[in-house]
């Protein structure tokens, strides 16, 4: 198996100024600052095979951006080693730039006052792309991302969605082997998100581009990635195929019951909260009530689903009933929760 990237005991500790309390403390901090060490990434191990699509997940402050910055050579680690496309990122950053693409959702790589076509041209010169090949590739990306109408408009006048499509097209121009994406769809509408994901998937399929992304959007993970690495407090918590996350980590189902319209919706709360069961059976939680629709979260380890459905149909006249897997969003929340509980036990 060819590796696209590998990190061993990779860590980053920042030195941060500790602020003292009060005005006098602030003044003292100004003239005699007190420093403390802050671990952003705690000696993580990870490896990604060539052609794989991997999501790096974690709550705010978990160390995702710091990890990506070390893997792309922007930051020097304070511990450990990493190899990306066979290179040490922070020592061979220029060489690495030819082999990888980067997209930071919060930071533009396009020249703000220039139209995207000029940035594309500059990129083609920086990477010394062959003219004919570059023109063909640019035209194909322009067509796939539907950039035609914005190509000659200065970037500062583009909407966020238009700009992000240009950003991602720009990162693909030099045929990177590995694409690093930090929050690529943040703030975009569903249509643009979908378009971006579709083209990233296409590049992965056709050119076997390795994708390594961070996102708070479960859709990015579900639609783009085959594996998820969850980090928390700077360390790796879970590393699993996305398809397994659901099965292995949350043994719950969401049951949605729609009461028949002969039933009074005002009674729903009473039925499910008090009348039908008082209290709700063990392992069943009321997840929400909207009019006649009631959502229940059911823990399969503690509840017999057959019995539950039977008692539901007895308790009320039901127009519709669905049983679904929890969303990836729920699962990720659950994983963070697991870590919190562990943290609680430790302290
Ligand atoms: N330059 C820096 N100096 C000091 N501390 C930093 C620096 N950069 C990051 N940190 C700290 O390191 C930790 C990890 O930050 P990082 O940006 O990697 O998290 P993240 O997982 O990307 O979070 P988010 O989802 O909010 O973007 C945070 O506590 C952050 O405050």
Enter the ipTM.
0.96
CA of 322 to the centre of ligand 1 (A): 41
Q: 215: Cβ below 6 Å to ligand 1?
A: no
Residue nearest to atom 11 of ligand 1 (CA): 40
- The response to whether residue 111 sits with its C-beta less than 6 Å from ligand 1 reads no
Q: Using CA atoms, how far apart are residues 333 and 26, in angstroms rounded to an integer?
A: 38
* Pocket flag, ligand 1, residue 126 (CB < 6 Å): no
Which atom of ligand 1 sits closest to the CA of residue 59? 25
- For residues 84 and 98, the answer to whether their CB atoms sit within 8 Å is no
Q: Cα angle at 229 between 298 and 327, to 5 degrees?
A: 25
Q: Which of 62, 67, 186 to mutate to test the pocket of ligand 1 (most atoms within 8 A of CB)?
A: 62
Torsion angle of alpha carbons 301, 307, 309, 315, nearest 10°?
-130
What DSSP state is assigned to residue 327?
Answer: P
Same domain? 44 vs 94: yes
What ranges in 145-272 are assigned the alpha helix state H? 160-172, 190-207, 218-224, 242-249, 266-270
- The SS3 of residue 74 is coil
Residue among 104, 109, 126, 102 at smallest CA distance from 210: 102
DSSP β-ladder status, 53-57 and 210-214: parallel
Establish whether residue 14 lines the binding site of ligand 1, counting it when its CB lies within 6 angstroms of any ligand atom: yes
Nearest CA to ligand 1 atom 3: 14
269 in any annotated domain: yes
When divided into structural domains, the chain yields a total of 2
Task: Note whether residue 124 is domain-resident.
Answer: yes
Same domain, 209 and 178: yes
Q: Whose CA is nearest to atom 10 of ligand 1?
A: 40
Closest CA to 72 of 144, 178, 161: 178
301 and 200 part of one domain: no
CB proximity list for 341: less than 8 A, separation 6 or greater:
none
151 shares a domain with 20: yes
Beta pairing class for 252-259 and 318-324: antiparallel
Give the burial class of 233: count Cβ atoms within 10 A of its Cβ; 0-12 exposed, 13-18 middle, 19 or more buried. middle
Whole-number Å distance between alpha carbons of 213 and 64: 9
- Residue 82's SS3 state is strand
Expressed in angstroms and rounded, the spacing between residue 135 Cα and the centre of ligand 1 is: 39
CATH label of the domain that carries residue 296: 3.30.70.100
Ligand 1: which atom is nearest the Cα of residue 69? 18
Phi first, then psi: what are they for 238, rounded to 5°?
-145, 140
Residue 58 domain-assigned?
yes
Q: Coil, strand or helix: which one is 8? A: strand
Do residues 276 and 217 both lie within one domain?
Answer: no
CB 171 within 8 A of CB 119: no
Q: Examine residue 100 and state whether it is found in any structural domain, yes or no.
A: yes
Instruction: Enter the pTM of the model.
Output: 0.79
Do 143 and 266 share a domain, yes or no? Answer: no
CA distance 20 to 34: 9
Instruction: For residue 21, give the DSSP letter.
Output: S
Co-location of 55 and 10 in the same domain: yes
Ligand 1 in reach of 69 Cβ (< 6 A): no
Same domain, 120 and 53: yes
pLDDT tens-place values along the chain, 347 residues long: 899 999 999 999 999 887 777 878 777 777 777 788 999 999 999 999 999 999 998 888 889 999 999 999 999 999 999 999 999 999 999 999 999 999 987 788 888 899 999 999 999 999 999 999 999 999 999 998 899 999 999 999 999 889 999 999 999 999 999 999 999 888 888 998 999 999 899 999 999 999 999 988 888 888 899 999 999 887 898 899 988 876 666 678 889 989 887 766 666 666 666 555 556 778 888 777 888 888 888 888 888 888 888 888 887 788 999 988 777 777 777 777 765 555 433 32
Tokens 């309390």 belong to residue: 21
Residue 128 tokens, joined: 């010394």
Range of the domain at 35: 3-247
Note the Cα 239 to chain centre separation in Å. 14
Check residue 246 and give its pLDDT.
65
For residue 66 and ligand 1, the question of a CB distance below 6 A is answered with: yes
Ligand 1 pocket test, candidate residues 10, 11, 12, 14, most atoms within 8 A of CB = 14
Q: For ligand 1, is residue 16 a contact (CB within 6 Å)?
A: yes
Claim to verify: residue 27 and residue 78 sit in the same structural domain:
yes
């Amino acid at each position: 198996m060819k590796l696209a990237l590998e990190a061993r005991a990779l860590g980053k500790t920042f030195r941060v100024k500790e602020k003292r309390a009060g005005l006098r403390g602030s003044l003292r901090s100004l003239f005699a600052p007190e420093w403390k060490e802050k671990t952003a990434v705690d000696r993580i191990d990870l490896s990604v095979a060539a052609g794989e699509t991997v999501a790096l997940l974690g709550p705010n402050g978990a160390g995702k951006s710091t990890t990506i910055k070390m893997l792309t050579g922007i930051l020097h680690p304070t511990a450990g080693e990493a190899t990306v496309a066979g290179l040490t990122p922070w020592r061979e950053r220029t060489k690495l730039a030819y082999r990888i693409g980067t997209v930071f959702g919060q930071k533009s790589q396009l020249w703000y006052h220039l139209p995207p076509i000029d940035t594309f041209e500059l990129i083609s010169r920086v990477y010394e792309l062959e003219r004919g090949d570059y023109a063909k590739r640019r035209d194909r990306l322009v067509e796939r991302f539907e950039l035609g109408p914005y190509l000659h408009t200065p970037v500062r006048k583009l909407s966020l969605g238009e700009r992000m499509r240009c950003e991602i097209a720009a990162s693909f121009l030099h045929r990177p082997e590995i694409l690093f994406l930090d929050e690529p769809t943040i703030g975009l509408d569903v249509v643009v998100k979908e378009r971006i994901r579709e083209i990233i998937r296409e590049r992965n399929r056709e050119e076997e581009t390795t994708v390594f992304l961070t996102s708070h959007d479960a859709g990015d993970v579900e639609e783009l990635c085959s594996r998820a690495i969850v980090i928390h407090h700077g360390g790796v918590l879970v590393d699993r195929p996305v398809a397994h996350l659901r099965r292995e980590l949350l043994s719950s189902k969401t049951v949605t019951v729609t009461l028949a319209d002969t039933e009074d919706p005002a009674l729903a709360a009473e039925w499910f909260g008090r009348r039908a069961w008082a209290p709700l059976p063990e392992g069943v939680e009321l997840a929400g009530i909207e009019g006649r629709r009631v959502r229940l979260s059911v823990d399969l380890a503690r509840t017999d689903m057959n019995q539950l459905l039977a008692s539901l149909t007895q308790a009320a006249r039901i127009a519709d009933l669905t049983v679904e897997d929890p969303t990836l969003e729920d699962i990720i929340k659950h994983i963070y929760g697991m870590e919190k509980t562990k943290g609680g036990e430790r302290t």
